[in-house]
Amino acid sequence: MQENRDTSIEYIQDLYFHYDAKRATGALATGRKALKAARHKEKAKAKSGTNAKVYIYFGCDKIVDEFLTPVHLEIVHALRQSGVAVLVENHKICKTQKFDGHFLTKIDKQNPVGKPILLVCIETIKRNYEDWQGELNRTIAHEAVHAAQACKWNDGYIRELGFRKDIEKEAFAIQDKPREVLRVIRKYCL
């Protein structure tokens, strides 16, 4: 399915919206403050035993989380709550250095854990983008749309949500609208 994706530069330019780093500076600072509160809340839940599910979050979570906007941090938490593992730079796909991120369904042959995985290839992002923090947020939102596409059908495959005729076009269409991404995650995954 992924081999048939159009990755030409014209396709990307037509559908890709650029991130405004100046506008997000305040949001990043707010996100760092919210992160401490969210981590404290998660630790308290874990200690009390009310957190029944175990979510996988490998790699550089402290490095990554501090650069997420509050909405993107909410997206990650919603994904984790729905059972999607978020892996940072801990998969062979990232070692190819061809992807900024990738979504693996629970039945994907490259999936080592048998549950949906959102991969973030932070080293590739840092290497390829001057505004790597903005690209990190975009990548998480883009791959989260693929998670929603998989959740909607719940059969292990990624298919359109219905507002575009191609899974990539849908992901590119709303990746710069994180509130919309969060809405589709909540609608289809929670």
Between 33 and 87, residue with greater pLDDT: 87
In a domain, 9, yes or no: no
In a domain, 6, yes or no: no
Give the residue numbers spanning the domain of 147: 20-189
**pLDDT for 61-111, tens place per residue?**
445 677 889 999 999 999 999 999 888 876 778 888 788 999 999 898 888
In a domain, 76, yes or no: yes
**Residue for token digits 């590119």?**
172
Task: Write down the pLDDT at residue 154.
Answer: 86
Beta bridge partners of 101: 120
Evaluate whether 55 touches 85 at the Cβ level (below 8 Å). Answer: yes
In a domain, 8, yes or no: no
In a domain, 50, yes or no: yes
In a domain, 3, yes or no: no
Domain count, the chain: 1
CATH of the domain at 162: 3.40.390
